[in-house]
Chains A and B, each alone.
Chain A
């Protein structure tokens, strides 16, 4: 299989790219939801993300990608206690995935042939410390959504079934994409996504021509194309790694906290999750810009990303009330 389309080669869609970079800098922001029409490069961007992320160090044989041997769950069989670097996992959750496949289940092979009770880890285990990608997330079956909600909140996957009682860490960044015309997303799941982006096709003819050109040379002149863009991806990756360091020393003045709170109150967004996410996103954005202090400019730049899906919305209102957020941001910050 070919390398995925390089992240930096995606034309336009700056908001979507920015959202993904922010979660790469601070995974605790809690994921990205990308909603938009067909053929706007949603899934391309997510698949490209894998090539952009710095590798992580994991214990060999650890089924849940733990960094330290002592973190490994007790049911895992660890033969060799040593760590090695692997690419950040980006796990696809296919639509038709069964509950067993997602949470993990009794290892049927061992149960039937050896009569042993063993646990076979599922997708949530594989996605630990990485990304979990759900394409067409609005078509996901409700019972799988329930599972995800629970795990995404607690960061731990608890399996209590078929006589198994297993728990393991499952902290992952949830990335979902979908087409709003095909169905709505449950508000509970919507809220679990840290950032949300609405993508539309590029409106300029030149941009569209660029898309077609790059796609064509990706298909037909693969190696030269990859060579050209992988360098840019690498530069971006370095920036992300630097930003992770900058983030640790970033100063957050009280005035910024106050601004964030004020903004969320004026928007009437439910709960404190919005405030926390906005703060984290703004901090990650400041770090990405290599600034040392969080300012209003950073908050302004990330407000729509973090808040547009959290408004107590009239379910009949057009999805993604970005315009409303922008208006209130302007009112609050310029007052």
Chain B
């Protein structure tokens, strides 16, 4: 199947049975291919509603229509977008949806109101995707990245959709198919049980469309291709190879690696010592630096925080109406207004009287851990660096900070963990972080800066925590050139300073590294040499204190 055929198939099946298939995630930038798909979606037998990733709860769930209520004198409620007849929700920029809205949408899809979702994922990088809460609830995933104009064709939807839907439910499922679907899901590493259900429904729908009353291998194959392909987290493997992976590794390693040092070393985190309250102390600095910048640590919120005086505002905002302030604003005008409208009972309000509550809150902080996992660091103190990150993480946990993890080694940097509050996940990824290869310090800093800038736009206040030995030896272009690498790193450090991103540099070398101190100065970052505290020393100290 070409991508476009895949898209056509997904949309056709969705048109027949939108209720049990949930919807489709389309990963594509806006362009002719996406437009063609949307034109096809418009023909679905249900009203379509366009959502926006930052819609407020009031718009989704409905609220009092204040202006209509005020002018009419009776309560007028606005219906929420989610509270309507079975509809197709079209969600552009789905990768930018905030967690609350995605949870709310997920609930709406679950609630059995027969809604369907068409999520348009415009993410430019691999890390930017539709939240799993939504992609798990939609059967299909379609990528239109490499579709040429020539491939496009109008999507012909079958005429008798409702007839097909009814017959789809009656398609006979051979008993073996069910266990095949489930086994396959397990072997592909798909743990959610929604996937096999979707696959079964898709297969039945496809059979009905092809005018069959029993499932055939063909239907199942197409359903599996459409439903499982994007969910798979592992390649299925035979039991034979599964039993002997260790032997195979041992055999192959000496051939691949003539050196005595294995390329990737996994090290467990060990205890490290850091100055207490490192993050807390940073606070004062953060607010000082952020003053005057648009994306400061303080921002005006309409839901929580320290109360500020009420303000006039737009009626569409999610802000709460401050009734007392509104009344106060309206009272002086009552006599005049009563004269103009003698028939009205009670106080008369105008739109201009409305006052909204305002709060000031601190924006959430994001700690971007940028960890040097290169060979030189791994040999020296990667385990301790991991320990240090863990210490900082538990401090972050207490402060409800978000964390992200970037590791650089070899020739470039990877975003190991996109911003999250889940420490379980952070710890897992951190433990599984291997070390080895060159030190592309500049690439690591570039990745950290890019993440800092995108998250600032989302309203977080990022701080880069760099753990490295500072011995950069891979330049930005991937070549192994010590001098160029150092120059590149200085260049990016200047950029970080210019972008006014807060940073901490933790030196993981045996003795403080001069070059790294200079780098920290360029970044205007706090420089901390990681004190020496190997696990042995710590346990020795403890046992002495216990013994005495």
Contact = CB atoms under 8 A, between A and B. Distances in A.
Interface of A: 1-2, 37-41, 43, 94-100, 106, 108-109, 111-115, 135-136, 139, 141-143, 162-163, 179-184, 186, 200-202, 205-206, 208-209, 211-213, 215-216, 219-220, 314-316, 318-319
Most B Cβ at <10 Å: residue of A100, A200, A315? A315
A102 to B, nearest CB: 12
Contact of A184 (B104, B132, B423): B423
A70 B427 CA distance: 54
B304 interface: yes
Contacts of B133: 38, 136, 179, 182
A97 B103 CA distance: 12
A39 B192 contact: yes
A335 to B, nearest CB: 25
Contacts of A41: 193
A37 B192 contact: yes
A124 B243 CA distance: 55
Contacts, number: 163
A209 B422 contact: no
Nearest to B179: A209
A115 B197 contact: no
Most B Cβ at <10 Å: residue of A136, A208, A212, A216? A212
Interface of B is mostly: helix
Interface string B98-136: 011101101100111100000000000000000011001
Interface stretch (B56-64, B244-252, B273-281): B56-64
B78 interface: no
Contacts of B107: 94-95, 135
Interface string B184-205: 0110000111111100100000
Interface stretch (B24-32, B370-378, B391-399): B391-399
Most B Cβ at <10 Å: residue of A96, A106, A142, A205? A96
B97 to A, nearest CB: 13
A38 B190 CA distance: 11
Nearest to B135: A38
B181 interface: yes
Given A216-B197, A315-B398, 18 more contacts: A37-B191, A37-B192, A39-B136, A106-B323, A108-B323, A112-B75, A136-B103, A141-B303, A180-B422, A181-B420, A182-B422, A184-B422, A202-B193, A208-B196, A209-B178, A212-B178, A315-B394, A318-B427
A220 B60 contact: no
B154 interface: no
Given A37-B191, A95-B100, A96-B104, A205 B183 contact: yes
B498 to A, nearest CB: 33
B191 A316 contact: no
Given A208-B193, A316-B394, A96 B57 contact: yes
Contacts of A211: 193
B169 interface: yes
Interface of B: 20, 56-58, 60-61, 64, 69-70, 73-75, 99-101, 103-104, 106-107, 110-113, 132-133, 136, 169-170, 173, 178-179, 181-183, 185-186, 191-197, 200, 303-304, 320-321, 323-324, 345-347, 349, 390, 393-394, 397-398, 400, 420-425, 427
Contacts of A112: 69-70, 73, 75, 346-347, 349
A205 B179 contact: yes
B288 to A, nearest CB: 25
A184 B421 contact: yes
A2 B111 CA distance: 10
B421 to A, nearest CB: 4
A215 B197 CA distance: 8
A112 B104 CA distance: 30
20 contacts: A1-B113, A2-B112, A37-B192, A95-B100, A95-B104, A95-B107, A96-B60, A109-B64, A112-B346, A112-B347, A115-B347, A143-B303, A181-B422, A184-B397, A184-B423, A206-B179, A209-B178, A212-B181, A219-B169, A315-B398
A181 B425 contact: yes
B304 A143 contact: yes
A97 B99 CA distance: 14
Contacts of B183: 205
Nearest to B344: A113
Given A40-B193, A113-B346, A315-B394, A98 B320 contact: yes
B149 to A, nearest CB: 37
Given A38-B132, A114-B346, A139 B103 contact: yes
A94 B424 contact: no
Contacts of A1: 111-113
Contacts of B320: 98-100
Contact of A183 (B69, B196, B197, B420): B420
A334 B136 CA distance: 44
Contacts of A39: 136, 191-195
Contacts of B347: 112, 115
A212 B110 CA distance: 16
A216 B67 CA distance: 47
A307 to B, nearest CB: 19
Most B Cβ at <10 Å: residue of A37, A38, A314? A38
A213 B133 CA distance: 23
Given A37-B192, A212-B196, A315-B398, A115 B346 contact: yes
A208 B61 CA distance: 35
